[in-house]
Structure 1
Amino acid sequence: MYLSLPEVNFIGKIPESFSYLTSLHYLDMTSCNLSGPIIKPLWNLSHIQSLYLRNNHLEGPISQFFKFGNLKELLLGINNFDGQLDFLSSNRSWTQLEAFEVSSNSLVGPIPSDVSGLQSLKSFFLSSNHLNGTIPSWIFSLPSLDELYLNDNYFSGEIQEFKSKTLWDVTLKQNQLQGPIPMSLLNQQSLSYLLLSKNNLSGQIASAICSLKALTMLDLGSNNLKGTIPRCLGEMSELWVVDLSNNSLSGAINTTFSIGNTLRVINLHGNKLEGEVPRSLANCKSLECLDLGNNELSDTFPKWLGTLPNLKILSLRSNKFHGPIKTSRAGNLFVHLRIIDLSSNGFSGNLPMSLFENLKAMKINDEITKIPQYVGEDLYYYYHFSETITTKGLDLEFRGVLTTNIVINLSKNRFEGCIPSSIGDLIALRTLNLSHNGLEGVIPISLQYLSVIESLDLSFNKIRGEIPQQLASLTFLAVLNLSHNHLVGCIPRGKQFDTFENSSYQGNDGLRGLSLSKDCGDDEGVPQAITPFGLDQGEEEDSTMISWQAVLMGYGCGLIIGLSVIYIMLSTKNPAWFSRMVEELDHKIIMRMKKHKKRY
């Protein structure tokens, strides 16, 4: 008897009426919004073999399921079950159990080491709990194990050799495991997913990995692996993801990427790789993310990567790239690129105007019409692409990159010349960082069209002129850094500009405004007199005093002359001429006083 009710919104406890279904063999209540403990009458289901209660809000000790003695499949992931797994060591009734899944709960403690009744187990899922200790040897000895998920726990010790020959998914990432990658893993002809990242694994990546013809995802990032990258990785026809980031791999990237490969992510960030970018990467027509940052690569800009039709993320940051960036305007290059990070290199010459003109994906702001998605979203059940992005003044690691996160980072290079006004066409930009270069000219008014920009950094350049008042329309701008340039004039007022602090403008001696505690005008924006460049505070006060003395002396002289004229006119008895003169003199005095009031 089968009962399948996935995604039925029950709300609350499992109905007690289910206790009458004593002949039930299969019950699926996945994603039913169930909560509370397992009700006692449910234990009447003594014939149950497959019990699916995933993705609910159920709670209670995990040991209570020991009462179901004929289980083949028990799937309880994404709930609030707690307790330890001690009951497994005394459980002799689960000899038929093939799938045990309790991921994303609140289990604690170690896995018991004396378990002997689970020899039929094929799928074992305990990820995202609070389990610790070593992985017991009985797990590695399971003869028919296909899937092993122990990721996101606190397991330590070494990964032992596996007895099973049918493994196709081994996910042990985010633990504290040590030692080398066991050779038994590299001899699994059916292995499709090998995810061991964020551990303390050591040793080299053995060339035996080339025998894994079915391998789809290889994630060995954030370990202590050394040696060179196996040449064969680019020739494995089923491989989608190669993540060897944040290890100590060295030497040149000698991998040959064959025509027709299916690679979508190549992440070699944070190693000690040298030499040039291999030209065979141009064969990776499915590639979406390429991160070669934080290495010791020495090359010119690989503009030929622009021919990759699906490339969305390109990071070459913190290497030894050099020379100008030249691309063809008519080449239709980098049209889908959403993140380009070339920071901390030796690139020189003018900013690459032709590159900006090719970035078509950055010219379309469709976040309102589309549901936000992640780059490579269909890979996310197994692999989360992470990228370090410098935004809002911080280096932030994003576990998953939204397609709306549009970034250009060309900071810390040797670029010269002006900022091209064509950057204003990239209306989807969220982050623009051109800091620490030798840029000159003025801030283009066209930047006002970057309507969703959140972080703008032009600091440590030689930019002159005024801050365009039009930039006050950028209502999403959270971080602005224009410090250490040669900017002059008044800082724009209103909206986001009223939130930026002095640090956004320091090092620009010609700038004035409230943020710098230097008056720039009244509420109507009328500019006030600017103290001559180079005067200190005392000189400013003296200058102000001298100016007022001159005004008063002028008014005094005018008063004496005026009284003399009055005496003469009264003597000549010509009041009409006198009246016109008085009105004209009064008007001049009032206008002069207004003028001096605004100046001081």
Structure 2
Amino acid sequence: MGRLVYWIAINAHCSLLYKTMDPSCEPSSLPFAFLLSIENMGSTLCLFMFMRFLLLVSSFYPMVANSSSFMQQPLCHDSERSALLQFKQSFLIDGHASGDPSAYPKVAMWKSHGEGEEGSDCCSWDGVECDRETGHVIGLHLASSCLYGSINSNSTLFSLVHLRRLDLSDNDFNYSQIPFGVGQLSRLRSLDLSSDRFAGQIPSELLALSKLVFLNLSANPMLQLQKPGLRYLVQNLTHLKELHLRQVNISSTIPHELANLSSLRTLFLRECGLHGEFPMNIFQLPSLQFLSVRYNPDLIGYLPEFQETSPLKLLYLSGTSFSGELPTSIGRLGSLTKLDISSCNFTGLVPSPLGHLSQLSYLDLSNNFFSGQIPSSMANLTRLTFLDLSLNNLEGGIPTSLFELVNLQYLSVADNSLNGTVELNRLSLLGYTRTNVTLPKFKLLGLDSCNLTEFPDFLQNQDELEVLFLSDNKIHGPIPKWMWNISQENLESLDLSGNLLTGFNQHPVVLPWSKLSILELDSNMLQGPLPIPPPSTIEYYSVSRNKLIGEISPLICNMSSLILLDLSSNNLSGRIPQCLANLSKSLFILDLGSNNLDGPIPQTCTVPNNLRVIDLGENQFQGQIPRSFANCMMLEHLVLGNNQIDDIFPFWLGALPQLQVLILRSNRFHGAIGSWHSNFRFPKLRIVDLSDNKFIGDLPSEYFQNWDAMKLTDIANDLRYMQARPKFQIPGYTWTIPYMYSMIMTNRGMQRFYEKILDIFIAIDFSGNNFKRQIPTSIGNLKGLHLLNLGSNNLTGHIPSSIGNLTQLESLDLSQNQLSGEIPLQLSRITFLAFFNVSHNHLTGPIPQGKQFTTFPNASFDGNSGLCGSPLSRACGSFEASPPTSSSSKQGSTSEFDWKFVLM
């Protein structure tokens, strides 16, 4: 009887397990094994084991109950389902709103009761996470969900007060502000609003969410963290473990309080406009593993003495003003996998202890001031895949052991003072191109600046190449036909720029490399029609500075992945295909300048996009500026000079928050500029050229009063240029290829091509129009000006003495006007003034003496019969220049009464 009861209990137990938790438990096999062992036991032992089994069964029932509860968790609350549905209905579904190729509208399948019972439980909806016990919505995961619209502070989203995790990244909120209603989500621990096209100041309500452990607002370059700023965030969010603010406009110093966040594991502050000194004790945070402050050029700092306990895995300082020597203690960072300190101001030797970093896979020390030899200890870095030591005064030979690093995929030691010969499998790269040696199949081959005069013949046997660099050589003549056959299925990046190539032995409509992503053919002598790369893969296409002719093929509009398109400085003609507007939002650079293109400018920016540069200058475009340009919210550089555009002043471009350069010179613009408006304020405009048009009316005094970016007088420690830095990724490789902004502008009386533009350069050229009346005194507010040209207008009245406040001014042209009165003495304090022209006006009185005025020639003052004094031959006689009175200072010259008094 005992055996029977035990068998039933065991069988029941196993059957229950099988049904609820463990599919590997098979009840049909267990009873026999247990019965066999029981038959060999005494009754006492049998009873004892039976009692223990009963205890086991009784303890199992709570587990069963919990499992049953899990299987029957409560449905979501009606109020929260309703809130989610209303939140869904506040957006449009737009495939262009998300950049992730795997994006899809997660909210599309959310249903209400009336749309069918199946799927009406919001806890089963895609992207919705509920509490297993209460049924409350505690997580909303809608990254890359193709949402387009904006979120108001009264959105039903903020009624989901139990939310702990909210991820809305990679959607398009149309440059709206982050709503202050987010402060109602007081239980949030994780918030991700990255890549969402938010704009404006981050609300203080968000910065007060004290339970946040994870915060990501990255890739929202129009977002500001200023009032309140970073210090306020750090003081409130004391539990942070991860803080991502890449490309958020912070424009401040880094608060020392950041070093108090003892739990901080990740800190990403790339491209935030940070300045001042980086607090060194942040490096000592006990949990910090990932630190990036890249591309903050005004951020200075030094590396500390590192401890072996440091958990740092990633350290990115590139593009900052960090300086000093690299401490030998950096060899203690045993967990470090990536180190990028390129484009800084580091000096001294490359320390040998770098070779102790056994986990290091990425090392970039380029563009610094390192000296001495490459330490042989680097041969110990067996995990390295990327090593860049270029652009440093380094010397000696390249350690041959570097070529034995089996994982190394990228190596650059260019632009140093290294010597010796490098041989790869007995192939010497010293200009000799023919060899009978059997070579390995390369994947990346860089032969830049090797003094080559023809294509190396061994390339004909390379069918696995992914990256081929042959730039800045002396390869001449046509590209041979056999080049089209190499690595057709593999080649992803090809650089032939800076050679003497004249064309193609054949003219394929579409180039043959099916995976080609980057094609650089610029600065050659290529003739014939425009070659077309494979449209489905190309991201970077540059053929500038060649001799290409013909029209732009409509096939170019199929290049759906384009980030940069540069066809400038050729002889292309005809109209731009209208389908150009269909190019994807990924396009950063559009440069078609210096060709013979004509017709109307196509509508651009019809969908949300990333355009930083539109350069259509030096062509023959007609008509008006497309009003769709107002949607180019990331635009920094707009060049339309020297065309036949017939339009009024495009005041509406003043709504573009990032616009820095506006070149409209030599067109047919007309009418008055009009009044400044707070919605169209050109907040970052630094260079504006309206010269040689038909503008009339007064100079725009209100603009002069409010162009804030022109009031900056800070001078950077080193020279930097205005540029875009789009990133290009192909499998296994990542490049950031700088694109330098360029323009044509008149400076010091001569037309000049600026191949690069210093980022401190601030200029106004309104010359060659029909502006009238006085020069407004408000122009003296623009203290950062380097160039001011108001020549060849119809301006009257006095030269305002407030121009003397423009202490950075290097070129001042007021010639060919109707100006009268004296030259203000205040102008003599502009110590950087190298060019000065007030010729052909009605100026009178003595020319200011001393300082820069002793360097200006007679021609600067020609055509003013009332002027006297050096350098003119007319002496001022008995009257000398007298210090201006307070009243005359305001007028810019001495009054008529004053002069009569002096003559008496």
Q: TM-score range by the shorter chain?
A: 0.7 to 0.9
Q: Which residue of 1 aligns with 2:770?
A: 414
Distance change (3 Å), C-alpha of 1:232 and 1:23: closer
Query: Which whole-Å CA distance do the structure 2 matches of 1:367 and 1:16 have between them?
Result: 40
**1:106: how far off?**
4.6
Query: Which whole-Å CA distance do the structure 1 matches of 2:848 and 2:393 have between them?
Result: 52
**1:525: how far off?**
4.9
Bigger Cα displacement from structure 2, 205-214 vs 432-441: 205-214
- The answer to whether residue 466 in structure 2 is matched with residue 122 in structure 1 is yes
Q: Which residue of 1 aligns with 2:475?
A: 131
Identical-residue share of aligned pairs (%): 39
Q: Deviation per CA, 1:536-582: give whole Å up to 9, x if none.
A: xxxxxxxxxxxxxxxxxxxxxxxxxxxxxxxxxxxxxxxxxxxxxxx
The question of whether the paired residues in 2 share the 8 Å contact of 1:92 and 1:117 is answered with: no
Query: Which whole-Å CA distance do the structure 2 matches of 1:466 and 1:217 have between them?
Result: 52
The question of whether the paired residues in 1 share the 8 Å contact of 2:445 and 2:468 is answered with: yes
- The answer to whether residue 223 in structure 2 is matched with residue 223 in structure 1 is no
The question of whether the paired residues in 2 share the 8 Å contact of 1:112 and 1:136 is answered with: no
- Residue among 711, 722, 725 paired with 1:378: 725
**1:289: how far off?**
0.7
- Residue among 436, 440, 448 paired with 2:796: 440
- The answer to whether residue 546 in structure 2 is matched with residue 188 in structure 1 is no
Q: Which residue of 2 aligns with 1:174?
A: 523
Q: Which residue of 1 aligns with 2:439?
A: 93
Aligned amino acid, residue 210 of structure 1? C
Distance change (3 Å), C-alpha of 1:178 and 1:423: same
> What does 1:289-300 correspond to in 2, within 5 Å?
289-300=637-648
- Residue among 39, 52, 63 paired with 2:411: 52
- Residue among 460, 479, 485 paired with 2:841: 485
Structure with the bigger RCO (C-alpha within 8 Å, sep 6+) is 1
Q: Deviation per CA, 1:130-163: give whole Å up to 9, x if none.
A: 3323323333222211001111222222385432
**Matched residue SS, 1:498:** helix
**Matched residue SS, 1:202:** strand
Bigger Cα displacement from structure 2, 374-383 vs 279-288: 374-383
Query: Which whole-Å CA distance do the structure 2 matches of 1:276 and 1:50 have between them?
Result: 50
Q: Which residue of 2 aligns with 1:346?
A: 694
Q: Deviation per CA, 1:500-541: give whole Å up to 9, x if none.
A: 1111101111100110022236998579xxxxxxxxxxxxxx
- The answer to whether residue 424 in structure 2 is matched with residue 65 in structure 1 is yes
Query: Which whole-Å CA distance do the structure 2 matches of 1:60 and 1:248 have between them?
Result: 48
Q: Which residue of 1 aligns with 2:863?
A: 507
Question: How does the TM-score come out when normalised to structure 2?
Answer: 0.52
Bigger Cα displacement from structure 2, 510-519 vs 110-119: 110-119
Q: Deviation per CA, 1:229-258: give whole Å up to 9, x if none.
A: 122323321111110001111111133431
- The answer to whether residue 826 in structure 2 is matched with residue 470 in structure 1 is yes
Q: Deviation per CA, 1:291-346: give whole Å up to 9, x if none.
A: 11110111111111111111111011011111111133444421211111000111
Q: Which residue of 2 aligns with 1:238?
A: 586
Bigger Cα displacement from structure 2, 157-166 vs 218-227: 157-166
Question: How does the TM-score come out when normalised to structure 1?
Answer: 0.78
Query: Which whole-Å CA distance do the structure 1 matches of 2:593 and 2:541 have between them?
Result: 15
The question of whether the paired residues in 1 share the 8 Å contact of 2:601 and 2:622 is answered with: yes
- The answer to whether residue 740 in structure 2 is matched with residue 395 in structure 1 is no
The question of whether the paired residues in 2 share the 8 Å contact of 1:137 and 1:160 is answered with: no
Q: Which residue of 2 aligns with 1:533?
A: none
**Matched residue SS, 1:139:** helix
Query: Which whole-Å CA distance do the structure 1 matches of 2:853 and 2:393 have between them?
Result: 46
The question of whether the paired residues in 2 share the 8 Å contact of 1:82 and 1:107 is answered with: no
Q: Which residue of 2 aligns with 1:35?
A: 395
**1:372: how far off?**
5.0
**Matched residue SS, 1:116:** helix
**1:210: how far off?**
1.4
Aligned amino acid, residue 300 of structure 1? I
- The answer to whether residue 431 in structure 2 is matched with residue 84 in structure 1 is yes
Distance change (3 Å), C-alpha of 1:140 and 1:7: same
Distance change (3 Å), C-alpha of 1:160 and 1:90: farther
Query: Which whole-Å CA distance do the structure 2 matches of 1:217 and 1:209 have between them?
Result: 12
Aligned amino acid, residue 65 of structure 1? L
Query: Which whole-Å CA distance do the structure 2 matches of 1:44 and 1:230 have between them?
Result: 49
Query: Which whole-Å CA distance do the structure 2 matches of 1:198 and 1:30 have between them?
Result: 30
Distance change (3 Å), C-alpha of 1:160 and 1:189: same
- Residue among 115, 127, 140 paired with 2:484: 140
The question of whether the paired residues in 2 share the 8 Å contact of 1:251 and 1:272 is answered with: yes
The question of whether the paired residues in 2 share the 8 Å contact of 1:91 and 1:117 is answered with: no
Query: Which whole-Å CA distance do the structure 2 matches of 1:194 and 1:355 have between them?
Result: 38
Q: Which residue of 1 aligns with 2:498?
A: 152
The question of whether the paired residues in 1 share the 8 Å contact of 2:696 and 2:772 is answered with: yes
Query: Which whole-Å CA distance do the structure 1 matches of 2:382 and 2:630 have between them?
Result: 60
Query: Which whole-Å CA distance do the structure 2 matches of 1:322 and 1:417 have between them?
Result: 17
Unaligned runs of 5+ in 2: 1-357, 727-735, 884-901
The question of whether the paired residues in 2 share the 8 Å contact of 1:109 and 1:132 is answered with: yes
Query: Which whole-Å CA distance do the structure 1 matches of 2:470 and 2:557 have between them?
Result: 29
**1:182: how far off?**
2.6
- The answer to whether residue 711 in structure 2 is matched with residue 366 in structure 1 is no
The question of whether the paired residues in 2 share the 8 Å contact of 1:232 and 1:255 is answered with: no
Query: Which whole-Å CA distance do the structure 1 matches of 2:698 and 2:692 have between them?
Result: 16
What RMSD in Å do the two structures reach over aligned CA positions? 3.2
Aligned amino acid, residue 830 of structure 2? L
**1:171: how far off?**
0.8
- The answer to whether residue 455 in structure 2 is matched with residue 111 in structure 1 is yes
**Matched residue SS, 2:828:** helix
Aligned amino acid, residue 570 of structure 2? N
Query: Which whole-Å CA distance do the structure 2 matches of 1:113 and 1:86 have between them?
Result: 6
Query: Which whole-Å CA distance do the structure 1 matches of 2:384 and 2:702 have between them?
Result: 66
- The answer to whether residue 548 in structure 2 is matched with residue 201 in structure 1 is yes
Aligned amino acid, residue 447 of structure 2? V
Aligned residues: 508
The question of whether the paired residues in 2 share the 8 Å contact of 1:177 and 1:201 is answered with: yes
The question of whether the paired residues in 2 share the 8 Å contact of 1:59 and 1:82 is answered with: no
> What does 1:556-595 correspond to in 2, within 5 Å?
none
- The answer to whether residue 365 in structure 2 is matched with residue 7 in structure 1 is yes
The question of whether the paired residues in 2 share the 8 Å contact of 1:323 and 1:346 is answered with: yes
Q: Deviation per CA, 1:22-71: give whole Å up to 9, x if none.
A: 999979462476434557x7699597975724233334566x33427xxx
The question of whether the paired residues in 1 share the 8 Å contact of 2:567 and 2:592 is answered with: yes
The question of whether the paired residues in 1 share the 8 Å contact of 2:723 and 2:738 is answered with: no
